[in-house]
Structure 1
């Protein structure tokens, strides 16, 4: 398959609106009123509307409360932060590598905003930890990914897919790397997010939950961007829209869900009040189904069409107002609803 060409800095012979996502022609001048994809500018505005920085969040209360958490809660808190720090670090680099091969200037702009947001996410983990633990402990947490075998296994599943694209950038390896990206941002974070939201609904570490909510909102838009990019890529390269790709997506999502469940059992299991093991495992499979549908395929776990942890909706709602969290008010279960098809597929 043809190797992807890097984007030209400018091209006076090409139109502003690109002729293709990859290996196309474009002046590389961005005019939002002259772009190919109708969804690009609304997404750009939504991404900007989500702008935030960690310094907006007062960690004083969490800093006092952290010492009162159980040992299991402290251990899970630190290891999950360590996981998220690793994922968002490689995500920043991966997104910039993808950008090099995108011809379309509107997609380049979206990816640039995405990369910046990943840097902010990564900074937020340092900000949280610097508020809670000594520098030596923070350094140790940022090393977890190197030594923890369960963490290594699930991380390398993603990294290997990214490296295949990096070493051999073709339309096929790009498409497959996007599937791994959707897994990273749309599946791998979710048991960790649930842990922090569960603490918040028990009035614990609410400021950290605020931070996670902001990250969660960004990641939902990132998944939307990458699933749209995947589907547009297959339209432009119909030879990729085949049984092999369908099987690849299915097997990858099943493997990702299994690894996420293994991680959940290892880090949380039955140790946390308010998190039911069976419900969480069904929830992870439900999330994998959502990502499969967003990519344009069928359910990979047909038996998991309902959200078994509906209370999470009150915490991860992408349309939630910031003010609730600035006021540091824990969300209430009564706010949960089944709007937008969140609870059934």
Structure 2
């Protein structure tokens, strides 16, 4: 039985053919894997609480199960709905819940907004800083640091943006009008002035790199989120990542308190990205040094109370093995993310 008030925004989906035991097992597995706060209600409901108080779960229906999502912010409800949908599709292919919706079909999703390119600046040999302007940016000015750029293909009609469908889901343009939706980090933001900046790692074949290099002021882009990427915070930090993680590392160093200590490992080819300076956090450059750090951790352990490491999937593997398997450090203390795959 719960005693705290429910978050005010909610969506549900009835699945009369899905046994409660099946969805209960999925929720428990997700809680264990992600280090989430798990709750149960007398064997008839199971839910997880996320940082910030949002939650998702399921309860027994008259037959089968009823899924639900509850949040404290309206746009966050749709973001979490899409995350739950994605997780269900991975484990139960073919399942397509019809969610109740707070929005009229045909409207833009509440976690989507339009912005315009204000300018592009080169800030390092391999990084461009993209400034975007828009009137609906306040939701990105919080501890969730990631969002998705939504880019139209050349020649797409101006109306080719996502919309709410009859089942409460987002309907995305398909075929030649399909949108590119890469994830990025909010590097700087001033919602009052109506702008945010994100830093783009320039690499061969990157569609967003080509867009940023050629984007003219006033070019329309979409933004979805925020979604994921909680800031690494603690009295002692162990940070590290390759170029794809440098902006997130910068956010973590910038947010660290004056008494915070720790180390930050840059695994990328270059180390000229403009990281903020912090007197208690030592920054070192070791290209491709994930395996060496893993070996050191096996030998020496770590007293860091928060570990945050993000790099290419195969290069992350030895770090995962050392931290999770050998040292037994769980997800509540260690965030280990594969930002891309070779």
Q: TM-score, normalised by structure 1?
A: 0.27
**Which one has the largest radius of gyration?**
2
Instruction: Report 1 or 2 for greater relative contact order, CA contacts < 8 Å, sequence distance ≥ 6.
Output: 1
- Structure having the higher strand fraction is 2
- Structure having the higher helix fraction is 1
Q: TM-score, normalised by structure 2?
A: 0.27
